Amino acid sequence: MPSSSMRRKAKLTVTISDDVVNEIDEIAKEKRIPRSQAIEEMLRDWLLKSKKREIEKDIETYYLSLTEDEKKEDREWARIAAENAKRTWND
């Protein structure tokens, strides 16, 4: 994957509240980076967190959909995995 400095960039025009701009500017100043880089880092972080939340939601939906028999089987597999992990780390 190309480094972020080698990726193509798109120029955007956005309208943001003054208070948000002030906070972005403070963060950029503290990190000693340009405002656009600070915004890009914040957006990238927000995107990653959004993807993580979506995956967590899907996992929760999956586990809530399990029948009692499937939950019992899942607990058994978890127990087996934990025992094997313990043995592996203790060897």
Tell me: the pLDDT tens digits for 4-58? 667 899 999 999 999 999 999 999 999 999 999 999 999 999 999 999 999 999 9
Question: Where do the H-state alpha helices sit in 1-91?
Answer: 18-31, 35-65, 68-90
Cα(74)–Cα(71) distance, rounded to whole angstroms? 5
Q: What's CA 16's distance to the chain center, in Å?
A: 24
Question: Which of 81, 82, 80, 63 has the alpha carbon at shortest distance from 71?
Answer: 63
pLDDT computed for residue 78 by the predictor: 96
Where do the structural domains in the chain lie, given as residue ranges?
A: 18-90
**Is the pTM here over 0.75, yes or no?**
no
